[in-house]
Structure 1
Amino acid sequence: MRLLLPLLFTLSAPAALQAQALDFGAPAVQTATQSEQGASLRIATGRWQAGSVPGEERAGLVDQTAWRIDTDQSTLDLAQRLRAQLLAEGWREVFACDTDECGGFDFRYALPLIMEPDMHVDLGDFRYIALRKGDAMLSLTISRARMAAFVQLTRVSGALMADAPAMAVPDTTASQVDRAQPAAPPLAPQPVGQLGARLENAGSVVLDGVNFASGKAELQGATPVVLTQLADYLKARPDARIALVGHTDASGGLAGNIALSKARAQAVRKALIAQGISADRIEAEGVGYLAPRVSNLSPEGRTQNRRVEVMLTSTQIGAAP
C-alpha cells in the first residue's frame, strides 16, 4: 500500500520514546521492518580502515525499517532532507560519509542492513549518517536504483555495552589520548572446529540437526549441537558475519512458505543470540520451497527440505590457524 506524505514512522518502543516522522519528499513504500527487544547492535561511527569499522555497540530495543521511494532525488538531496529533520528533532550528528569516503564495498558490508530486494545499496552511490540522542543511536543508509531511492533507518535504544569500546566522534586531528596509547595487539586466531572449517571452505553449510515440523517454525527439542558449534565458531571469529536462510518443503503456496522459511531462520538467529552472539552479525531470510535439497516426492525428502542453511557473508576474516 502506498503511503502518503508525511510518512509517519512509529517505532515499536516504550511510551517514553516518541514516534519519528520522516518526510521523504515523494511517495514511499515501507518494504521491510523488524524489531527486537533485548538485542544488541553496533552503529558505525567512522569509515572503514585497517580492516574494520569503528562503532558503538548498544543493547536494548533494536528497530530496522527500509523504504522504497519513488523519486529522482539524488542520494545527497535525500541525505540533506532527512538529516535536517532529525537535527530539528534533537538528534546530534556523530558521523556522515558517502561511498568512497565511507570505505566503499567494505563499509557497506560491515553495516547490519536488511537484505535485497527490500533494501538496495548501489556500491557506487550510497550515503550514511549516524546520530545520537540520549541513550539512543540512529543510522540512515541511503542509496538509489535506476527508478527509485532506498532508505534504511536503524535505531538502537539502550545503554552503551560495558565491554564495547566507546568510539569518539571522528576528528581530523588525533587527540592526545590517541597519540599516547599504543595500538592493542591483534588477537591470536582461535581454532574454528569442523563446522567452521566447512563453512569457510564451502561458503555455506546446512545446519543438520535443526529440525522443524511441517508448517512450524519452532525448533524441536533442546538446542541442537550444531548451533552450539556455530556459536563457538562465531566467538572464535569475532569479525565473521553470517546469513541464515530458511527453507520449506513444497506443501502450500509460495508466499506462505517464504514467510514460514524466514520465521525458521529467525528462530535459529534467536537461539544464537541467546548463546551470546551479537544480533548485528546475523541476518535471517527465507526462500520458501525455491531451493530444495532433495525431491519433495517423498515424506523423507520433504523432511530434509525443511531446513536452515548458514552462509558466510564476510569478505575478510582472520586466517585459520
Structure 2
Amino acid sequence: MPIHTTPIAKIKRARTTLKSRFIILSLGLAASWYALMGANPAAALDFALPENAVQRAQRTEVATLQPLPSGVFSGPNTPFLDAEGRVSHAAYSLTSTSLTSFQLIAPLRAQLEENGYNIRFACADTVCGGFDFRYLLDLLPEPQMHIDLGNYQYLLARHPDGDVAAIVTSRARTAGFIHITQISPNDTGAVTVEPPTAGLPDAADTTLTTNLPSRGSTGLIRELNARGAFTLDDLTFETGSSALGDGPFKSLQQLAQYLMQTPEVRVVLVGHTDTQGELDSNIALSRKRAASVQDRLIKTYGVAARQLSAEGIGFLSPRVSNATKDGRNTNRRVEAVLATTP
C-alpha cells in the first residue's frame, strides 16, 4: 500500500466504481450502506474511548479500495494512501464535553503508537486544507458525524502488518465527535451491513437530533436527518453558466422555510458541475453556482446571511455518469450540507 500522488478525479471514480460493485453484489441496495446504532464493526484495533462516547453510526465494507489523504490538500496533486481490504467506519459522539478536537484525538494517537502503528500524516482544519480536504474524506453523514470545517483534526496511521487507521475528531457547541476508519487487508470475509433503522435512534441520541423542527419542509428535514445534506434538485444551470434560472424553485422555498424557522442552523451550499472543462475552472464555476443560490436565498427569501456559506467541488462527486446529456444535467446541482447540529 505505497503512498503515491493521484489525480483526485481518478481517485473519486475508482472509489465510486469499487463501492458500487460492492453494493450491487453484496446488498443490492445503496440504502444499506450504513446502520445506525448497530454492533461495533470488525476492526483491527479495539480503541479505548472516553466513557461517555456513544456510537451513532457504522458502515462496513469488504474487499474494497479506500483512498485516504496522506498530505495536505493540493488540488489534483493531493497525495493519497490506497488501502485495500475490509473497511469499517464508526462514528461516536460525546455529549456535554469540553474536550477540544486535539484532546479527543491525542489519546487515540497514543493507542495507535502503543500498538505498533506508524503515524503517516496528521493535520488540523485549515492546515489540512479546510473545506477542500474535508470533502476528500469518506465519512459517515451528519448528524451522526459532525464536522466543523474550522475545527477538526485528522490522523492517518499504518501498522507494519498492513492495517491502516484514519481518525477524524471535531466539535459542536457542547458535543465532541469521533470518526474512526480501519482497513484490514487480511480480513476479506463476508460483510454484514444492517439497513438504516426507521426514524431516529433511541433516546440516547436526543441531544443530536430531536431539536430538528417537525413543522414544514418535512421532506427536507427527513433527508437532513438521514444523510446530513439535501439536494436542491429542481434548480437549473446551463453548461458553463453560473446563472440560476428564474424559478420559482420549490426546493429553495423549503430550505428558506427551514432556515428561517431554525435560526441556529447553518448550512453550506455546495456546487457541483459536469465534467466538461478542466477541474480548476469547474471548481470555480461550482462555487459561483452555490453563491448564486446563496444570493437568491438572502435577497428573495430573506434568509439570514450568517446561516449560509457557499463552496464548490466541481465534478469530483458525480451522482451518475457524465457520458450522456441527462447524466450531465443530473450532476449539475447544488446541495445544502448541514454544518451545525441544532
What is the TM-score of this pair, normalised by structure 1? 0.46
Q: Which has the higher helix share?
A: 2
- Greater Rg by CA: 1
